[in-house]
Chain A
Amino acid sequence: MTTTIDHDGPLSAGEGLVRQLDYWGTVYKRTWRGGIISSFVSPLFYVVGMGVLLGGFIEGDPARLEGATSYLAYIVPGLVATHAMTLAIGETTYPVMGGIKWHKSYHAQMATPLALRDIVNAHLAFTLVRVASACAVFMVVLSPFGVFESWWGPFLAWGTQVLVGMAFATVVYGVSARMQSEEGFGLIFRLGVIPLMLFSGAFFPIDNLGPVLAWLARLTPLWHGVDLSRMLCLDLVDWPMALLHLVVLVGVTVAGWFWAVSGLEKRMGDL
């Protein structure tokens, strides 16, 4: 056998992803059936239950619903953005700990030319695909309900929802990589996901929270995503505000990526 020595250094980010395509493909093949329930069926329950049925009791007053003509139109953009967040967190909590501790796929991967950064990237890319496909189906299903005011807005809103997913995916990945035991995940869901979902402007305008809590809500990335998503769906875009939302979401995602990579490097880089 001959040894060819190439000093190529680390793989390119693209090559790193391509090499893990088959792995994540089989993960998808194995999990998509269960994924359908969480991705498509449960959000539809929300739309029907809260948007249509509960919304039937709520007067569609655009002045009180940030310009929406019905409660359904009001909550749809927020619901999809919130859904992007929950899906992303679902993909970056237990599955990350699984890679580290249970099925140990990360240990196998790091013995190959892949670097820890490539492993993080592929996991996040898979999350991106999951979130993007789930949100796209969700938006398509909602389009006949007359909740979108322009043809282009929903496309940008979809992009926003994907960005919301990635902002949470990167940050939560970093937390999961640093977490020793899965008990902390209960805390993330109960004290993180549920309050964010309820109080970040998805179901009611955050002004109803009172001034202090309303400002607190404005600090969460989810609110930025919900608000931007809603502006785009309702065709009521306040461009400077939209830019601020975009900057916040991109900023959190980028910072989150560094946090995620450093998290896995700290956890597995010096065994």
Chain B
Amino acid sequence: MISARGLRKSFGDFEAVKGIDVEVRRGEAFGFLGPNGAGKSSTMRMIAAVSPVSGGELRILGMDPAVDGPAIRARLGVCPQEDTLDNELNVFDNLYIYGRYFGIDRATCRERSEELLEFAQLTEKAKARVEDLSGGMKRRLTIARSLINRPDLLLLDEPTTGLDPQARHVLWDQLFRLKHAGVTLVITTHYMDEAEQLCDRLVVMDKGLIAAEGSPRELIAQHSTREVAELRFGVGEHDGLAERILDLGQRVEVLPDRLLVYSDDGEEVLSQVHTRGLQPLATLVRRSSLEDVFLRLTGRTLVD
């Protein structure tokens, strides 16, 4: 569906994307993870065929965006990071008019708009002004709008940023259903739980490059340990205490509010910590998550 080789994007002197290779297959949910400024959104805009490629090769649905931009965009659904809903139109018209841009005839457009309102749980709001919708409703409407042309490939740029937990779960459920219906999803996010929930495969981007690639499970296996012991000490004590437990895990990470000790046996780490006479204020042993991989790859790792 998408194939990029040495893909680059620069704005003047600033290089946002510095040569990435990506392969997205039909029917999968693919994620771009990374901190702000990693180049995710620039990559997404190139894939959406609205931003010209600065270097390297990009093929979307087998086509070159520089040549077949309109044909590519006809098969894509785009849910941008910032809502681009028309505040001056009502909810229904936002769907209907957007569908018309794709050359879908009026009757079909009306039919699909009704269906999508249902899908987005916005049927009662059909005549409401977009301005009066909550953040979650706007995101649902934006996603519904991106489906009006029955896209083969759906691009979602930070779909749940700024939403409350309830709204996020509703959205995740809808994205799951789309995936089951065979739509290929490409998602950018900086929420690790979202990536773990939704993505079959993902890349972690940092400073315009790909830092790691694989399924969530593979990435955890490659870049983290089975378990993590979290130790919370008093404010300001973490840096000093890290030195004393370096040997307890494969790696120790210092966060502002706690220490993370990466080890295959978290309970063993805790008992060793106590044996050494250290008294953490709070402790927790948990399985490694994608967040640990993310911090490892993009965060400031103190000790390896």
What is the distance, in angstroms, from A198's C-beta to the closest C-beta of chain B?
34
Report the contact-size class of chain B (Cβ under 8 Å from the partner): 35 or more
Q: A9-B70, A107-B84, A270-B52 are in contact. Are A113 and B93 (CB under 8 A)?
A: no
Could you tell me if A15 and B80 are in contact, using CB atoms closer than 8 angstroms? Answer: no
Q: Could you tell me which residues of chain B, from 34 to 80, have a CB within 8 Å of some CB in chain A? A: 45, 48, 50-52, 61-63, 67-71, 73-76, 78, 80
Could you tell me if A115 and B70 are in contact, using CB atoms closer than 8 angstroms? Answer: yes
Could you tell me if A3 and B73 are in contact, using CB atoms closer than 8 angstroms? Answer: no
Task: State whether the Cβ of B85 lies closer than 8 Å to any Cβ in chain A.
Answer: yes
Could you tell me if A10 and B97 are in contact, using CB atoms closer than 8 angstroms? Answer: no
Neighbour of A1 across the interface among B73, B102, B152, CB < 8 A: B152
Q: A10-B70, A112-B102, A270-B11 are in contact. Are A103 and B86 (CB under 8 A)?
A: yes
Task: State whether the Cβ of B182 lies closer than 8 Å to any Cβ in chain A.
Answer: yes
Q: Could you tell me which residues of chain B, from 177 to 229, have a CB within 8 Å of some CB in chain A? A: 182-183
Q: Could you tell me which residues of chain B, from 116 to 156, have a CB within 8 Å of some CB in chain A? A: 145, 149-150, 152
Could you tell me if B93 and A26 are in contact, using CB atoms closer than 8 angstroms? Answer: yes
Could you tell me if B152 and A271 are in contact, using CB atoms closer than 8 angstroms? Answer: no
Could you tell me if B100 and A1 are in contact, using CB atoms closer than 8 angstroms? Answer: no
What is the distance, in angstroms, from B87's C-beta to the closest C-beta of chain A?
5
Could you tell me if B73 and A9 are in contact, using CB atoms closer than 8 angstroms? Answer: no
Could you tell me if A113 and B103 are in contact, using CB atoms closer than 8 angstroms? Answer: yes
Could you tell me if B70 and A23 are in contact, using CB atoms closer than 8 angstroms? Answer: no
Could you tell me if B71 and A111 are in contact, using CB atoms closer than 8 angstroms? Answer: no
Q: Give the distance in Å from the alpha carbon of A15 to the alpha carbon of B68 in the complex.
A: 17
Task: State whether the Cβ of B254 lies closer than 8 Å to any Cβ in chain A.
Answer: no
Task: State whether the Cβ of B20 lies closer than 8 Å to any Cβ in chain A.
Answer: no
Could you tell me if B70 and A19 are in contact, using CB atoms closer than 8 angstroms? Answer: no
Residues of A within 8 A of B11 (CB): 270
Task: State whether the Cβ of B96 lies closer than 8 Å to any Cβ in chain A.
Answer: yes
Q: Could you tell me which residues of chain A, from 76 to 125, have a CB within 8 Å of some CB in chain B? A: 103-105, 107-115
User: Considering only CB atoms, which chain A residue lies closest to B100 in the complex?
Assistant: A22
Neighbour of A104 across the interface among B76, B84, B106, B182, CB < 8 A: B84
The A interface is mostly helix, strand or loop, or mixed, namely loop
Q: A11-B70, A26-B97, A270-B52 are in contact. Are A108 and B84 (CB under 8 A)?
A: yes
Could you tell me if A5 and B71 are in contact, using CB atoms closer than 8 angstroms? Answer: yes
Task: State whether the Cβ of A8 lies closer than 8 Å to any Cβ in chain B.
Answer: yes
Could you tell me if A15 and B103 are in contact, using CB atoms closer than 8 angstroms? Answer: yes
- What sequence of 0s and 1s flags, for each residue 1-45 of chain B, a beta carbon within 8 Å of any chain A beta carbon? 000000000010000000000000000000000000000000001
Could you tell me if B86 and A112 are in contact, using CB atoms closer than 8 angstroms? Answer: no
Neighbour of A23 across the interface among B68, B73, B97, CB < 8 A: B97
Residues of A within 8 A of B82 (CB): 104
Q: Give the distance in Å from the alpha carbon of A92 to the alpha carbon of B68 in the complex.
A: 30
Residues of B within 8 A of A103 (CB): 86-88
Q: Give the distance in Å from the alpha carbon of A47 to the alpha carbon of B275 in the complex.
A: 97
Q: A9-B70, A109-B101, A115-B70 are in contact. Are A271 and B45 (CB under 8 A)?
A: yes
- What sequence of 0s and 1s flags, for each residue 91-108 of chain B, a beta carbon within 8 Å of any chain A beta carbon? 001001110111100100
Task: State whether the Cβ of A183 lies closer than 8 Å to any Cβ in chain B.
Answer: no
Q: Give the distance in Å from the alpha carbon of A105 to the alpha carbon of B70 in the complex.
A: 18
Could you tell me if A113 and B74 are in contact, using CB atoms closer than 8 angstroms? Answer: yes
Task: State whether the Cβ of A33 lies closer than 8 Å to any Cβ in chain B.
Answer: no
Task: State whether the Cβ of A20 lies closer than 8 Å to any Cβ in chain B.
Answer: yes
Residues of B within 8 A of A22 (CB): 96-97, 100, 106
Task: State whether the Cβ of B89 lies closer than 8 Å to any Cβ in chain A.
Answer: yes
Residues of A within 8 A of B85 (CB): 108
Task: State whether the Cβ of A6 lies closer than 8 Å to any Cβ in chain B.
Answer: yes
Neighbour of A114 across the interface among B87, B96, B101, CB < 8 A: B101
Q: Give the distance in Å from the alpha carbon of A19 to the alpha carbon of B98 in the complex.
A: 9
Neighbour of A107 across the interface among B80, B87, B97, CB < 8 A: B80
B50, B93, B152 pick with most chain A CB within 10 angstroms: B50
User: Considering only CB atoms, which chain A residue lies closest to B50 in the complex?
Assistant: A110
Q: A108-B84, A270-B51 are in contact. Are A7 and B71 (CB under 8 A)?
A: yes
Residues of A within 8 A of B50 (CB): 110-111, 271
What is the distance, in angstroms, from A261's C-beta to the closest C-beta of chain B?
15
Could you tell me if B61 and A5 are in contact, using CB atoms closer than 8 angstroms? Answer: yes
User: Considering only CB atoms, which chain B residue lies closest to A271 in the complex?
Assistant: B51
User: Considering only CB atoms, which chain B residue lies closest to A110 in the complex?
Assistant: B50
Residues of B within 8 A of A111 (CB): 48, 50, 73, 76, 78, 80, 84
Residues of A within 8 A of B145 (CB): 108
What is the distance, in angstroms, from A147's C-beta to the closest C-beta of chain B?
39
User: Considering only CB atoms, which chain A residue lies closest to B88 in the complex?
Assistant: A103
Q: A112-B98, A113-B102 are in contact. Are A6 and B182 (CB under 8 A)?
A: no
Residues of A within 8 A of B97 (CB): 22-23, 26
7 pairs of residues in contact across A and B, judged by CB atoms under 8 Å? A1-B152, A7-B67, A8-B71, A22-B97, A26-B93, A103-B88, A113-B74
Given contacts A22-B100, A113-B71, 11 further A-B contacts (CB under 8 A): A1-B150, A1-B182, A1-B183, A9-B71, A22-B106, A104-B82, A107-B84, A108-B98, A115-B70, A269-B52, A271-B50
Which 5 pairs of residues, A with B, have the shortest CB-CB distance?
A: A112-B101, A113-B70, A107-B84, A111-B78, A108-B84
Spell out A's residues near B (CB within 8 Å).
Answer: 1, 3, 5-11, 15, 19-23, 26-27, 30, 103-105, 107-115, 269-271
